[in-house]
Amino acid sequence: MKKIIIAIDGYAGCGKSTTAKGVAKALGYIFIDTGAMYRAVTYYFITHQIPIKEPSEEILNQIQLRFQKVEGQPQIFLNEMPVYQWIRTKMVNEYVSQVSALKAVRRHLVAQQQLMGQEKGIVMDGRDIGTVVFPNAELKIFMQASLEARVKRRHSELLKLNIDMTEEEIRLNLIERDYQDTHREEGPLKKANDAIVIDTSNLTIEEQIQQVLNLAYEKIRS
Ligand code: DC
């Protein structure tokens, strides 16, 4: 069967990763959460006290990222360390937009993401997947949802990870990240002209997955 690339972009907290993961599972595709890659680089910057300014090639080359399944879920490893529990903390949330605005960081990660999609059969979620990473993706989705729906979702996700952030803290962090993600020079969050908008404010995760799957089947059959 024909394999395609599915790019899912949108604001934080719209359920992009959960949807992408479900779609990938149903299609037997690879799922890549590019936010986890930017978060892992941010974690590296924080733990190695690297100043948040354009890093050298040497620094970037010290950061090895890969995804590996843990209990059936693809998780990110940084220099062979399982960091997926550490990349969702308040500290990483605070700095990730600044680190992901650095051009050298973006170029380094975009190149890795493009390699991951060479064989197609991939669902990738992020901010610039349909515009920069895979401008020729067969299916592009742009997800949006009301701020309140996104706050509620993030809050329950973080509770499951035992991360204690109030709804107000999450709200302020989302507003700040939305602003930074849409206003940076390199790879800003924006809808690709040919992306299909899905508003997830009143959808369940199952409905979100089904909507994307229906669109994917159309593309695969065409
Ligand atoms: O999807 P997320 O909230 O885990 O992403 C964390 C941050 O990473 C987000 O604030 C912006 C950045 N990001 C990015 O700049 N480009 C991507 N393709 C994915 C995420």
The per-residue pLDDT for 105 is 98
CA pair distance 52, 57, nearest whole angstrom: 14
- Nearest CA to 143 out of 134, 130, 133, 159 is that of 130
CA dihedral 92, 94, 96, 97 (to 10 degrees): 170
9 ligand 1 Cβ < 6 A = no
The pLDDT tens digits of the residues spanning 11-62 come to: 999 999 999 999 999 999 999 999 999 999 999 999 999 999 999 999 999 9
Q: What is the pLDDT of residue 17?
A: 94
Per-residue pLDDT at 1 exceeds 90? no
All structural domains of the chain with their residue ranges: 5-217
Please give the distance, rounded to the nearest whole angstrom, from the Cα atom of residue 36 to the centre of ligand 1: 7
pLDDT at 161: 87
Q: For the segment 101-144, what is each residue's pLDDT rounded down to a tens digit? A: 999 999 999 999 999 999 999 999 999 999 999 999 999 999 99
Question: Superfamily assignment of 5-217 in CATH?
Answer: P-loop containing nucleotide triphosphate hydrolases (3.40.50.300)
Q: Which of 8, 34, 52 to mutate to test the pocket of ligand 1 (most atoms within 8 A of CB)?
A: 34
Q: In angstroms, what is the span from residue 221 Cα to ligand 1's centroid?
A: 31
126 lines ligand 1 (CB under 6 A): yes
Atom of ligand 1 nearest to the CA of 113: 18
Q: How far is the CA of 61 from the centre of ligand 1 (A)?
A: 20
Q: How far is CA 120 from CA 31, 59, 69, 154, 220, in A?
A: 11, 30, 19, 30, 12
Res. 84 pLDDT band, cuts 50 70 90: very high
Q: Which numbered atom of ligand 1 lies nearest the CA of 101? A: 15
SS3 assignment, position 7: strand
Residue nearest to atom 10 of ligand 1 (CA): 97
Q: Find, among 118, 123, 101, 90, the residue nearest to 52 by Cα.
A: 101
Q: Is the CB of 34 under 6 A from ligand 1?
A: yes
Please give the average per-residue pLDDT across 62-77, as a whole number.
94
Q: Render pLDDT for 168-213 as a digit per residue (tens, 0 to 9).
A: 999 999 999 999 999 999 999 999 999 999 999 999 999 999 999 9
Neighbours of 98 (CB within 10 A): 15
